[in-house]
């Protein structure tokens, strides 16, 4: 309750309620728009719409973003499947709620380095929660699907880690490159509803170009190394034997493409002074 009381002192409850509803509706639309682009395993969606709760967490704090993200993902998943989807409320809802509550808590004392920290921690923690709950609780315990119940604990863990990596590398560039200009635009256009520390730091503080660059460059290099490991070691054989050759090809493609894209974006951010980065 103390966290909510602290938020109320800065922004009225009516504004936070509207922000929560807006976050949920925008996130639901954004998630649904890309809901049919799956991971290499055929489950787990491409979700660049995470920029929406990241933005709301920064501007309005952890509660509206957490509830908005949880409601938005449940709405999008349920519309896609045509009913209240258990995979969403058993996995995606808790992961999104905890992840974006954490994001909002980290950026309470806003600066751009804390924003980068929040992005990396949130995308790691939230996606781990969603992936492991989705695989172990929904697929194995709730549905009891033979495809998954026949896997060993190690196979299921490997699958969950793979989903986590897929979501992380496909979400990170959007959060780091799209959300900052949105925050700055909101601070400039609506200064009365943006917290003072966010307004001051986002408009006056130089965005640390090197830090943003490394935040994408390092994961990019790691993805390339994982891809090479998958191609040239027994890891590839494990993927092929466990998930099949088509999945192996898609997984390798995921590692190489995400690695190249993140590495390229990291270098681009560092070298292009005309981006919104100023240092």
Q: In angstroms, rounded to a whole number, what is the distance separating the alpha carbons of residues 109 and 198?
A: 8
| Record: fold of 2-205 | Arp2/3 complex 21 kDa subunit ARPC3 (1.10.1760)
Q: pLDDT tens per residue, the chain (279 residues)?
A: 444 444 445 578 888 899 999 999 999 999 999 988 989 888 888 999 999 999 999 999 999 999 999 999 999 999 999 999 999 999 999 999 999 999 999 999 999 999 999 999 999 999 999 999 999 999 999 999 888 888 999 999 999 999 999 999 999 999 999 999 999 999 999 898 899 889 888 877 777 888 899 999 999 999 999 999 999 999 888 888 888 888 889 999 999 999 999 999 999 988 876 555 554
Backbone angles phi, psi at 40, to 5 degrees: -60, -20
Cβ contact 87:44 at 8 Å: no
What separation, in Å, do the N-terminal and C-terminal C-alpha atoms of the chain show? 39
So where are the chain's domains? Answer: 2-205, 206-279
Q: In angstroms, rounded to a whole number, what is the distance separating the alpha carbons of residues 173 and 259?
A: 11
Cβ contact 56:91 at 8 Å: no
C-alpha torsion sign, points 38, 44, 59, 276:
negative
Q: In angstroms, rounded to a whole number, what is the distance separating the alpha carbons of residues 28 and 140?
A: 26
Residues with Cβ within 8 Å of 63's Cβ and at least 6 positions away in sequence, in order, are: 3, 4, 7, 16, 20, 101, 104
pTM for the predicted model, two decimal places:
0.90
């Amino acid at each position: 309750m103390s966290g909510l009381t602290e938020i109320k002192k800065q922004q009225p409850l009516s504004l936070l309620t509207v922000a929560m509803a807006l976050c949920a509706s925008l996130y639901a639309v954004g998630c649904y728009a890309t809901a049919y682009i799956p991971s290499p395993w055929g489950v787990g969606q491409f979700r660049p719409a995470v920029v929406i709760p990241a933005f709301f967490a920064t501007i309005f704090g952890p509660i509206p973003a957490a509830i908005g993200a949880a409601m938005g993902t449940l709405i999008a998943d349920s519309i896609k499947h045509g009913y209240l989807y258990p995979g969403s409320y058993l996995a995606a809802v808790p992961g999104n709620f905890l992840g974006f509550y954490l994001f909002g808590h980290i950026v309470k004392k806003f600066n751009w380095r804390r924003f980068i920290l929040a992005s990396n921690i949130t995308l790691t923690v939230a996606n781990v929660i969603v992936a492991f709950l989705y695989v172990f609780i929904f697929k194995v315990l709730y549905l009891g699907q033979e495809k998954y119940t026949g896997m060993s604990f190690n196979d299921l863990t490997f699958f969950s880690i793979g989903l986590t990596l897929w979501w992380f590398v496909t979400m990170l560039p959007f959060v780091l490159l799209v959300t900052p200009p949105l925050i700055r635009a909101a601070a400039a256009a609506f200064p009365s509803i943006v917290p003072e520390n966010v307004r001051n730091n986002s408009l006056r503080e130089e965005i640390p170009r090197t830090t943003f660059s490394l935040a994408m460059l390092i994961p990019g290099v790691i993805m390339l190394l994982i891809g090479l490991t998958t191609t040239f070691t027994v890891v590839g054989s494990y993927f092929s034997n466990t998930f099949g050759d088509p999945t192996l090809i898609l997984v390798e493609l995921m590692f190489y493409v995400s690695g190249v894209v993140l590495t390229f974006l990291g270098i681009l951010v560092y070298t292009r002074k005309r981006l919104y980065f100023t240092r």
